[in-house]
Amino acid sequence: MRIVVVAGGIGGARFLLGVRAAAPDAAITAVVNTGDDATMHGLRICPDLDSVMYTLGDGIDPVRGWGRRGESWVVKDELAAYGAEPTWFGLGDRDLATHLVRTRMLDAGYPLSEVTAALAQRWQPGVELVPMSDQRVETHVLVDDPGTGRRQAIHFQEWWVRHRAEPEPHAFVQVGVDVARPAPGVVEALAAADAVLLAPSNPVVSIGTVLGVPGLREALLASPARIVGLSPIVGGAPVRGMADRCLPAIGVEVSAEGVGRHYGARSAGGLLDAWLVHEDDTADVPGVDVRAVPLLMTDPAATQAMAQAALHAARA
Ligand code: FO1
């Protein structure tokens, strides 16, 4: 069985653990958002790829959901001692090794997809880890400058980490997306898929960014597989992260129904054949097979059950 999962970072990584457990013999391709990527202290950082790689490779810090378990922060403190900005972005000592290896390979001319495959050799995630694109796409957020009130674009990481998503986001802009293309293997994986799952990741800055890569949405819709999405909104709020801060910026209600309608029915030009919402939620999404199942990834068994429900909906 061949499964393609479109995913963002922390939630997507946890969901992939469940898919891997639910389908141990399947060939799973994770198409991961790279819009959160940033260059800091001269190093290229790929938060969502790293969260997936560390989570599936059992190197993740389980509480943070990003960075390495058993981390130390000596270099971070030394950088701060020099006043080297950004001091607001936490780069752990172990995590730095990943960024150093990635940056060196990128500088040597290797595309991000090959760099990702090389890093994954160490971590053995058990899925094929593919960036959405080898071209750089960076999400920037349009906010009002607190001083001047003028509208300005800041990098997603600055909005999310430095400012804790507090400034009202007026829009999200994927810088570079117009000249980006799906990474090698993405279109092929979608064409060969038996199931395509949209992980319960941020519909705007994660799933939305991936589907905004020219040609990717078309490849997804051309897939012979059923497309099954899982709601990241449970009971009117995101389980984690800042989807509730992002959805209003694109005029989408913060609800399982709102996101389901935003993705839309495949039969009506949208994405979904099926939409999984949490057992206590309801969602009327015309033309879509809506199923209410437990969607809280409270432990591996719950996550596996959720993935099994998604695969079951993909086989319907
Ligand atoms: N998130 C934070 O809230 N604070 C940080 O200092 C931070 C550092 C960081 C370093 C490497 C990395 O891969 C991720 C990091 N994140 C941090 C998480 C990151 O901002 C988010 O995981 C994604 O960008 C959104 O899913």
Q: What is the pLDDT along the chain (316 residues), one digit of tens a residue?
A: 999 999 998 999 999 999 999 999 999 999 999 999 999 999 999 999 999 999 999 999 999 999 999 999 999 999 999 999 999 999 999 999 999 999 999 999 999 999 999 999 999 999 999 999 999 999 999 999 988 989 999 999 999 999 999 999 999 999 999 999 999 999 999 999 999 999 999 999 999 999 999 999 999 999 999 999 999 999 999 988 999 999 999 999 999 999 999 999 999 999 999 999 999 999 999 999 999 999 999 999 999 999 999 999 999 8
Residue 188 tokens read as: 């092929």
109 and 15 co-located in one domain:
yes
Residue 216 belongs to a domain: yes
96 and 30 co-located in one domain:
yes
Residue 267 belongs to a domain: yes
Residue 291 belongs to a domain: yes
146 and 85 co-located in one domain:
no
For residue 66 and ligand 1, the question of a CB distance below 6 A is answered with yes
Ligand 1 mean position, distance from CA 66 (Å):
6
**Sequence-separated (6 or more) residues with CB below 8 Å from residue 245:** 165, 169
Answer for the pair 212, 174: CB distance below 8 angstroms, yes or no.
yes
209 and 109 co-located in one domain:
yes
Peptide bond into 131 cis (omega under 30): no
Here the CATH number for the domain that contains residue 71 is 3.40.50.10680
**Domain count of the fold of the chain:** 2
For residue 45 and ligand 1, the question of a CB distance below 6 A is answered with yes
Report the nearest atom of ligand 1 relative to the CA of 50. Answer: 13
Residue 31 belongs to a domain: yes
220 and 290 co-located in one domain:
yes
Residue 268 belongs to a domain: yes
Instruction: Specify the pLDDT at position 146.
Output: 85
Instruction: Specify the pLDDT at position 257.
Output: 98
19 and 155 co-located in one domain:
no
**Sequence-separated (6 or more) residues with CB below 8 Å from residue 36:** 8, 9, 46, 47, 48, 139, 156, 157, 205, 206
72 and 150 co-located in one domain:
no
For residue 89 and ligand 1, the question of a CB distance below 6 A is answered with yes
β 138-144/171-175 pair status:
antiparallel
94 and 145 co-located in one domain:
no
9 and 37 co-located in one domain:
yes
Task: Note down the domain range covering 183.
Answer: 2-135+178-315
287 and 213 co-located in one domain:
yes
For residue 18 and ligand 1, the question of a CB distance below 6 A is answered with no
150 and 297 co-located in one domain:
no
Q: Note the Cα 227 to chain centre separation in Å.
A: 17
The preferred substitution site among 14, 32, 140, 161 for testing ligand 1, maximizing ligand atoms within 8 Å of CB, is: 161
Q: Is the pTM of the predicted complex or chain greater than 0.85?
A: yes
190 and 49 co-located in one domain:
yes
